[in-house]
A and B are shown apart, each in its own frame.
Chain A
Amino acid sequence: KQEVTQIPAALSVPEGENLVLNCSFTDSAIYNLQWFRQDPGKGLTSLLLIQSSQREQTSGRLNASLDKSSGRSTLYIAASQPGDSATYLCAPKGNYGGSQGNLIFGKGTKLSVKP
């Protein structure tokens, strides 16, 4: 059964810092991996999706990498801003049929960017 761990659970940084959020997963048989952000009391917003055949994806100040064989993904945020404060969730999608073929979520990293 896939297990997803996100470290650290919480992170506080001053504005302008570059930062890395980590995600590890136990089963490398994944179809893709998606990164989301969640603001307090809101739904999830998709940030980036990396296919299993890709090594990285970029969107603006965000860059996500995937090392499927070692079961790791990182989300790099450049020049952080207070508006980046949110909880960030990673979710690999299993390359199986049935329930394990869906997204499995980590518990997230709560990011706070101080002005």
Chain B
Amino acid sequence: DAEITQSPRHKITETGRQVTLACHQTWNHNNMFWYRQDLGHGLRLIHYSYGVHDTNKGEVSDGYSVSRSNTEDLPLTLESAASSQTSVYFCASSESRTGVETQYFGPGTRLLVL
């Protein structure tokens, strides 16, 4: 079955370190997204991609970057981790070529920045 996976599922890091969160989907979807979920804020869009080599900033992109070199993967990099980036991160994908665009989510990565 097609799926979307994230790794690691849990991560503890220190302030100032670079961290990369992996996202891999086997749906062959053209769209991929990164969100963060925080109490009181709900889900907020960090970055998104509509295809290979395409990346765009979302609502809360400062301090984050992404690159898309193939269809299946969209890694999220925190350039210099800050305590404010402690959160749960979700990756998602959707297919726009069918016109329906149901979005499917991964299981999430819990990140703690000390």
Give me the interface of A with B, judged by CB distance under 8 Å.
31-32, 34, 36, 42-46, 49, 51, 89, 91, 93, 98-99, 102-103, 105-108
Question: How many whole Å from A97's CB to the nearest CB in chain B?
Answer: 10
A43→B101 contact, CB < 8 A: no
Q: Which of A42, A44, A98 has the most CB of B within 10 A?
A: A44
Q: A32-B101, A49-B100 are in contact. Are A43 and B90 (CB under 8 A)?
A: yes
B102→A49 contact, CB < 8 A: yes
5 tightest A-B CB contacts, nearest first: A105-B43, A44-B105, A43-B105, A107-B42, A43-B107
Q: A99-B58, A102-B58, A107-B42 are in contact. Are A46 and B103 (CB under 8 A)?
A: yes
Q: How large is the interface on B (under 10, 10 to 19, 20 to 34, 35 or more residues)?
A: 20 to 34
11 interchain pairs (CB within 8 A)?
A: A43-B106, A44-B90, A44-B92, A46-B102, A51-B100, A91-B103, A99-B48, A99-B56, A103-B33, A105-B44, A107-B41
Is residue B27 within 8 Å, beta carbon to beta carbon, of the partner chain?
A: no
A44 to B108, CA, bound (A): 9
B105→A45 contact, CB < 8 A: yes
B106→A34 contact, CB < 8 A: no
Is residue B104 within 8 Å, beta carbon to beta carbon, of the partner chain?
A: yes
